[in-house]
Amino acid sequence: MKKLLALVMAAMMLLSVTAVLAEDASIKIAVIGPFTGPAANYGLACQYGAQVAADEINAQGGMQIELICVDDEHDPEKSVNAYTYAMDKGAQMIAGTTTTSPCLAVSAQAYEDRVFMLTPSASSDLVVADKDNMYQICFQDPQMGIIPADMIAEKKLGTKIAIIYNISDDYSTGIYEAFKAEAEKVGLEIVSVTTFTEGDTDYKTQVDKAMTAGADLVFLPIYYTPASMILRAAKDINYAPVFFGVDGMDGILALENFDASLAEGVILLTPFSAFDTDETVVNFVEKYTAVSDGVVPNQFGADAYDAVGALYQACVNAGITGDTAAEDACELLIDQFSTMEYTGLTGTMQWDETGAVNKLPAAYVIQDGAYVPLDK
C-alpha cells in the first residue's frame, strides 16, 4: 500500500512540475543543444553563452527575452522532439541547434513549419542549403579548409604539407576536401595524406608517414582530442613541424591530462579567444565563468552569445514582440538577416542570401599556454 501511495505521489509531482508558467511580452528564444551525453561540452558552452547574452539584454531594461533551453543529447530524433517541445512552450525562434546532424533534422522540420533558426555552431554547408529560414554564426566547413590554404600560401608557413584527418567524420572530411582543392589552386604541395577513424588512440603510423615524406607543416582538420594524441606521437619521435589546426582545435589547452607544452607553436583558426584583452571579451569571460562555474569560454560560448545578440537586434529592428507568431517572426527575421550587420564577440557579421556568414577569420598561435594573434 505504501508503495502504491509513493507511486501516486510521484505521479502527482510529475504533473505539477509539468505545469507551465506563462510569461507575457518577453521574446521566447529556444536554445537547443546537447546538455548531456558525449557532446555535452559544446551544448553547455552554448547554453552558458546564450544565458550571458540574455542576462545582459534583460538587465538593460526594454524588451525582455526568455530562453527555453532544451537538451537534445546530440541525437537527431531527440533534437526534433526538443524542437517540438520548445514550440509547444511558445518559442518564437531558435538559437540552435549546436551540433550538425541534429541541426539538419530540426532545420528540415523548421523549414516546413516556418520557424526562424540561427545556429551558433552547426558548420556543415548542408545546414543552410535550400532553406531560406536558416542562418549560421559560425564559418562553414569548406571555408575552414579554404582559409588555411590561402593563409599558408600567403604567409609561407610551410612548403611541404601533410594532412591527417578523421575519415568517419563529415566535419573533418569536408574541410579536407576543401583544403585539398584550394591547395591545388594556390600551388601548395601536399606530400602525405593519412586518415583515422573515430576512437583511434594510436597515431604513430600517420605521424611517421608525414615525417618520412618530409613535411614541414601538418594540417589537422580535426577535433582537439585526437589532435592532442598526434602532438604526443610527434614529440615521441622528435618530429617538430608546424601544426596547423582549425576551429576544432579550440579547447585543446583545457583538455584534462594533456601536457600543454606540447601545444606550443600550434596555429589554429578560431573566431574567438578568451585571452583577448579587449574590454568586451574580458567582460564576457568574467560573466561566463560566473555562470559556468569557472569553465573558461571557448568559441561555442561566444558563438551562442552572438546568436542571441543578433536575434535580439533583429527583433528590435523588425518590431517583433512576445506576441508575434513564430511564422510572422520568421519572415520578418529573414528580411532583417539578409540585410543587417551585427558586431559581436566573434567579429562583424553579414549574411549572404543562403544564410552563410561573412566575417573575418582570425588565426592564433599558442605561446606560453595562451592564444596570441598570428600576425603579431
Binding region for other proteins (CB under 8 A): 3, 7, 14, 17-18, 35-36, 70-71, 75-78, 80-85, 87-88, 101, 104-105, 107-109, 124, 126, 129-130, 167-170, 172-174, 177, 197
CB of 343 to other proteins, least distance (A): 33
CB of 313 to other proteins, least distance (A): 28
CA–CA separation, 347 and 269 (whole Å): 13
Judge if the upstream peptide bond of residue 97 is cis by omega within 30 degrees of 0. yes
CA distances from 154 to 63, 186, 375 (A): 46, 9, 12
The C-alpha angle 288, 293, 297, rounded to 5 degrees, equals 40
Residue 1 DSSP SS3? coil
Residue 331 DSSP SS3? helix
CA–CA separation, 94 and 321 (whole Å): 15
Q: Which is nearer to other proteins, 76 or 148 (CB)?
A: 76
User: Which residues share a beta bridge with 342?
Assistant: 349
CA–CA separation, 123 and 136 (whole Å): 8
CB of 283 to other proteins, least distance (A): 28
CB of 81 to other proteins, least distance (A): 5
CB of 107 to other proteins, least distance (A): 8
Joined together, the cell numbers standing for residue 313 give 537586434
Q: Which is nearer to other proteins, 3 or 156 (CB)?
A: 3
Q: Which is nearer to other proteins, 18 or 257 (CB)?
A: 18
CB of 173 to other proteins, least distance (A): 5
| Residues found in the chain | 376
Q: Which is nearer to other proteins, 78 or 287 (CB)?
A: 78
Grid coordinates 510529475 are at which residue?
A: 14
For strand 347-351 and strand 357-358, is the pairing parallel, antiparallel, or unpaired? antiparallel
Dihedral of CA atoms 106, 112, 118, 123 in degrees, nearest 10, equals 50
Q: Which is nearer to other proteins, 130 or 259 (CB)?
A: 130
Q: Which is nearer to other proteins, 77 or 352 (CB)?
A: 77
Q: Which is nearer to other proteins, 26 or 84 (CB)?
A: 84
DSSP codes, 139-191: PPHHHHHHHHHHHHHHHT--SEEEEEEETT-HHHHHHHHHHHHHHHHHTPEEE
Q: CB of 99 within 8 A of CB of 39? A: yes
CB of 40 to other proteins, least distance (A): 11
Q: Which is nearer to other proteins, 127 or 311 (CB)?
A: 127
CB of 143 to other proteins, least distance (A): 17
Joined together, the cell numbers standing for residue 97 give 541547434
